[in-house]
Amino acid sequence: MNQGKYVFSQLTALLSSTSFSTCVNRYGGNYKAKHFTCWKQFLCMLFGQLTHRESLRDTMLCLSANSDKLYHLGIGDAVSISTLSKANEKRDWQIYADFAMVLIAEAKSLYLDHQGELELSNQVFAIDATVIDLCLSVFSWAKFRSTKGAIKLHTQLNVKTAIPEFIQITTGNVHEVNVLDIMSFQRDSFYVLDRGYTDFKRLFHIHQCGAFFIISAKDNLNFKRIRSNAVDKSKNILCDQVIKLNTYYASLDYPQHMRRIKYLDVENNKTLVFLTDNFTLQATEIAVLYKHRWKIELFFKWIKQHLKIKSFWGNSANAVKSQIWIAISAYVIVAIAKKKFNLKPSLYEILQVISISMFEKSPIAKLFDKPIQQHVNELFPNQLNIFD
């Protein structure tokens, strides 16, 4: 008797098969594929990501152990490791990149009214890159240093929703500032960057797009003070200045005035200096916006710790990029499920519960009926001490 769908099937039911087919047809992904299609490849890899599998062998062993359920998961017959490995090596990674962007667009629409901790009506984006180390002798294409291989994950994250809206994967030797050339910037939005993105010509491009940037200033910044604005030092604002760049080439790249704010971070006992082209927000609001840049660090930490993008299940650039894009899809699917099923726990807690419930037929919302106890040591306050 049918008792409902498996949890994994409930998650994949959130995905548009039409959109996926469009991505596949765009690159001829199913050319000469008889049984093991791109969709089945995606499902196998997605299952491995959501259940924290360590390798292709681990993933296929888990699926083979539940071969009687594979039909209901949409995979069909059991798949060999070599078949999945060959698909990862040969099938164009852009299929999964395009589909991930489809999922990101859907997530954006679901989180449209989500303001997070910021009361600002403007959109706020954090831009950064993270390095994923690789063995150069195995991944010879991943150039970074003479004795070290790596890839970089360049990301533009919506700070309010924690949804990545731009992702680019490059070899480690590509400087992150170059990716600003292929990003698009929304009018009246704020873009928060660290000092590694200091390039005044590119910052002026953001300004010309009608957007605002907030960037940490380098210590050796050569500038001329035009005027100083009044500051409230009780709010840890040390100075608020309107400046003009002094050096010849920098002044050509950015010919207009900028705003320079010096802020005392009492918690970490640091003095921070910000540059921005916004002259309307209060200095404290600029400091708060920059503080929220840490959310992109949390995003990188989350996907590295809870998804498989540090150990790879193939050696080619195509296999690595396919795995990363499917991992990003897994992250966005969890975010979509959180909204669609009206789940209260964090993305981490949702992923942990889902990972051990893939073959259950309970509705996903029911898995979270009981509140999750986050402080395990408080469950049994009268627990005896075994070491007494």
Q: Read off the CATH number of the domain in which 247 is found.
A: 3.90.350.10
pLDDT band with cut points at 50, 70 and 90 for residue 378: very low
Asked if pLDDT for residue 2 goes beyond 50, the answer is no
| 211 and 166 part of one domain | yes
- 27: tokens are 């690159």
**pLDDT at residue number 372:** 54
- Asked if residue 204 and residue 294 are part of one domain, the reply reads yes
The answer to whether 11 and 74 have CB atoms below 8 angstroms apart is no
Domain annotation covers residue 111: no
Is residue 384 situated within a structural domain?
no
| Average of per-residue pLDDT across 309-323 | 90
Contact 103, 335 (CB under 8 A): no
* Cβ(323)–Cβ(309) below 8 Å: yes
Res. 375 pLDDT band, cuts 50 70 90 = very low
* CB of 6 closer than 8 Å to CB of 359: yes
pLDDT value, residue 83: 92
Rounded to an integer, what distance in angstroms lies between the CA atom of residue 245 and that of residue 254? 8
Answer whether residue 166 is part of any domain. Answer: yes
Q: 195 lies in which domain range?
A: 117-299
Helix axes 38-50, 17-27, angle to 10 degrees: 120
Within-domain flag for 219: yes
Q: CB neighbours of 130 closer than 8 A, spacing ≥ 6? A: 152, 153, 155, 300, 304
pLDDT, the chain, mean: 90
Interval 192-197 mean pLDDT: 95
Same domain? For 16 and 65 the reply is yes
Residues 147-154, mean pLDDT to the nearest whole number: 93
Q: Are residues 126 and 162 in the same domain?
A: yes
Q: For residue 134, tell me if it sits in a domain.
A: yes
* Residues 182 and 290 both lie in one domain: yes
Over residues 120-145, the mean pLDDT reads 92
> CA distances (Å), 200 to each of 194, 258, 276, in order?
13, 11, 11
pLDDT at 141 over 90: yes
Structure tokens at 305: 């710790």
Nearest-angstrom CA–CA distance, 299 and 173: 22
In the numeric block, the tokens 């499920």 are attached to: 337
Q: For residue 101, tell me if it sits in a domain.
A: no
Domain boundary among 264, 299, 334: 299
Q: Are residues 285 and 322 in the same domain?
A: no
Q: Are residues 273 and 327 in the same domain?
A: no
Backbone angles phi, psi at 154, to 5 degrees: -90, 130
Asked whether the predicted pLDDT for residue 383 surpasses 60, the reply is no
CB of 164 within 8 A of CB of 299? Answer: yes
Considering the domain architecture, whether residues 233 and 190 belong to the same structural domain is answered as yes
Span 199-252, pLDDT tens digits: 999 999 999 999 999 999 999 999 999 999 999 889 999 999 999 999 999 999
**In a shared domain, residues 330 and 235:** no
- Check residue 143 and give its pLDDT: 92
Of 9, 3, 2, 59, which is closest to residue 357 (Cα–Cα)? 9
Q: What is residue 77's predicted lDDT score, i.e. its pLDDT? A: 84
Q: What 8-state DSSP symbol labels residue 53? A: -
The whole-number pLDDT of residue 322 equals: 96
Residues sharing a CB contact under 8 Å with residue 10, sequence separation 6 or more, in sequence order = 363, 364
> What per-residue confidence (pLDDT) applies to 337?
95
Average pLDDT over residues 120-142: 93
Domain boundary among 267, 299, 331: 299
Residues 88 and 178 in one domain: no
For residue 376, name the pLDDT band (cuts at 50, 70, 90).
very low
Q: Are residues 14 and 147 in the same domain?
A: no
The amino acid that residue 379 corresponds to is L
Q: Is the pLDDT of residue 385 over 70?
A: no
User: Is residue 239 assigned to a domain?
Assistant: yes
Mean pLDDT of 316-327: 95
Number of domains forming the structure of the chain = 2
Q: Does residue 304 belong to any structural domain of this protein? A: no
pLDDT cut 90: percent of the chain above it: 72
Mean pLDDT of 183-201: 95
Sequence length of the chain is: 388
Residue finishing a domain among 299, 331, 346: 299
Helix (H, G, I), strand (E, B) or coil at 312: coil
37 — pLDDT class (breaks 50, 70, 90): very high
Measured CA to CA, the distance from residue 59 to residue 85 in angstroms comes to: 11
Tokens of 277: 């082209």
pLDDT at 147: 87
Assigned token pair, 268? 């970490």
Q: Does residue 388 surpass a pLDDT of 50?
A: no
Of 251, 273, 250, which is closest to residue 260 (Cα–Cα)?
A: 273
At residue 371, the pLDDT reads 59
Pair of tokens at residue 97: 């990149």
pLDDT in tens, 248-257: 999 999 999 9
- Same domain, yes or no: 132 and 250: yes
